[in-house]
Amino acid sequence: MASVQDILAKLRISNHNSAWYTGLKSGSESAQTREIFSPINGAYLATVSMANDADYEICISEAQAAFEIWKKMPAPKRGEIVRQYGDKLRHYKQELGELVSLEMGKIIQEGLGEVQEMIDICDFAVGLSRQLYGLTMASERPDHRMFEQWHPLGICGIISAFNFPVAVWAWNSMLAAVCGDVCIWKPSEKTPLTAIACHKIMEEVLRENNLPEGIFCLIIGDAHIGKRMSEDTRVPLVSATGSTRMGKAVGTAVGARLGKSILELGGNNAIIIAPSADLKMAIAATIFGSVGTAGQRCTTTRRLIVHSDVYEKVKSELLRLYPKLPIGSPLEQGNLVGPLIDKDAVTNFTNALTSVQAEGGKLIYGGTVITDGELAKGNFVVPAIVEAENHYEMVQHETFAPILYLLKYEGDVTNAIAIQNGVKQGLSSSIFTTNMLEAELFLSYKGSDCGIANVNIGTSGAEIGGAFGGEKETGGGRESGSDSWKAYMRRQTNTVNYSTALPLAQGIKFDLD
C-alpha cells in the first residue's frame, strides 16, 4: 500500500496546506477553503478552494464554447475519446481505488470495484456511440416519410454524492459525452479529491486529442453552486444524486424553469426471506447489503422481512455472523466494514438507534461507536441489528449507516410485499424464494413497487448494463445502462414530403381554391 503522498502524486494531485484548486484553471482565487480529512483516522489529506459565483460563470462559458466543437464531432469519434479515458482508468485503477478508500472510507475492494464500474461504463458508452438509433414510422399520407432522431442537449450538470464519489459521475458523463453533451460536475464537497483525480486524468485525454477541456468541467463548491446550476436555464439537464430533501429542492428549481432532471435519491431497501429460501444465500446477501460501504449505499439493505417459519433461524444466524465481521481500516485486505464518512454520520447513527428504541424497537446487536484503540481516530461504529415494526418512524426513514431492521411477516408473500412497499422510497428490493409463483408475483404489477426488483440476489451491486433508478421519493430517474442515454438527448420527429401534393393528416381538407 503506497503512502498518501505517493497516491496523490501519481494522480497528479499536489498535497500542501494552501488553497490550490477550484476545479478551473482560470478560476478566480476564492477566499473559502475546505480541509479534507480521511474518515479512516482523521489524517489530513489536502486543502481545496471552494468555487464562487465568478468561477461558476467561467465554467459555464468554457462549457458553452466546448459544446460548439463537441456536438459537431461524429458520435463514434466522441466514443473514441471515451475509449481512451477508459484505458487511462485501467492504468490508474489501483491508485484511484486507493484514493476512493482513503477519502470516502469504503473497503479497498469496493474502491477498486468503483473504478472498474467507471471502466465498464466507458466500454458501454463506446458501443453506444454507434447505436444512437432513431425510428422510422409509417406515415398515413402518401409519399411521405416519417422518422425520429436524437440531438445533443447542451450542458449536462452533474451533482454527485460522497458515497460513490466517481462511479455515478461516470454513469452520467460518459453517456452524455457520446450523446454530444458537455458536462459540468459538482461533486460532494466531502470527497473532492477523487473528483479532481478523475478530472486530471480526463484532461490528459483531451490535451492529447487537441480538444477543449471545457467538454468535461469540474467545479468544487457547496450547495450554493448546486443551486446555481439547478436554476440556470443554460443547463438544460441536471442529474442529481443525494438525499430526498436535496432532490426535492433540485427538482423544484429545475422544474420551475421547465428544464430536465434525473433524480437518484433516497432508498429504504428490503429483502424478503420466504420459507422456501436458500438461507445461506439469503443471509450472505443480507450481510453484504446491510454493512457494505458501512451502510452508506443508496441500495443498502435496511429492512429484512422474514417469514415467521424461519425468523428465529435467520435471527440466530445473523447474531452468529455479525460479531465475526472484521471492522477496521478499509485499506487493509480482509476488513469488511470501514468507517462512516464523518462525525455527523456517526451522530445520525446513534440518534437513529435511540429513536427507534424509544418507539419500541429492540437493539439485539451492535450499535456502539468505537472509542478506543486506533479505530477511535476514525468514524467507526459496530453495525446494528434492531427488531422493529415497519410503521416505526425511524424504520420509515433512511439513515445512511449500518442499521438493519429485522421485521417478521405471517401468511403468504403478499403480506411481505405489502411491508416491502409500505415506505415512501422505492429504489431496490429483493426476494429470496425457490417458489416460482412467489418470485413471479414479486416481479409482477402486484409485486415490488421499486425501480429495481431482484430474485435470489441482494439489493446492492447493480450492473451497469441495466437502467439504475427508483420510484416514489427515490425520484424516478434512470442512469447507466439500457436506454438511459435518451435522457441526455432531445428527441425530434421529422416528416419529409417527397410528392408535389400537400395532403393533411387525419384526412383534413383545407382547399384554398
C-alpha cell at 389: 415494526
Would strands 269-273 and 428-432 be described as parallel, antiparallel, or unpaired?
Answer: parallel
Phi then psi for residue 449, to 5 deg, are -100, 20
Nine-digit cell string for 493: 420527429
Least Cα distance to 116 among 103, 134, 130, 100 occurs for 100
Give alpha helix (H) positions in 41-107: 53-70, 75-104
With b meaning 16 or more CB within 10 Å and e meaning fewer, what string describes 291-328?
Answer: bbbbbbbbbbbbbbbbbeebbeebbebbeeebeeeebb
DSSP state of 181: -
- Cα–Cα dist 279/99, whole Å: 36
Distance CA 98, CA 504 (A): 63
**Host H or E run for residue 393:** helix 393-396
- 262, three cell numbers: 434525473
Q: What does the alpha-carbon distance between residue 297 and residue 413 come to, in Å, rounded to a whole number?
A: 27
Q: Where are the beta strands (DSSP E) in 30-171?
A: 33-37, 44-49, 135-137, 144-152, 155-159
Q: Does 298 qualify as catalytic in the annotation?
A: yes
- What is the spatial distance between Cα 291 and Cα 366, in angstroms, rounded to a whole number? 12
Q: In this structure, what DSSP letter does residue 369 have?
A: B
Rounded CA separation 162/149 (Å): 36
**Contact criterion met (CB below 8 Å) for 216 and 182:** yes
Identify whether 264 is a catalytic site residue.
Answer: yes
| Phi, psi of 382, deg, nearest 5 | -95, 120
Q: Which residue is catalytic, options 62, 98, 264, 479? A: 264
Rounded Cα distance, 212 and 200, in Å: 13
Contact (Cβ atoms closer than 8 angstroms) between residue 14 and residue 39: no
**What number of CA atoms fall less than 13 Å from residue 330's CA on the CB side?**
32
Catalytic choice (298, 398, 438, 473): 298
Please list the active-site residues. 264, 298
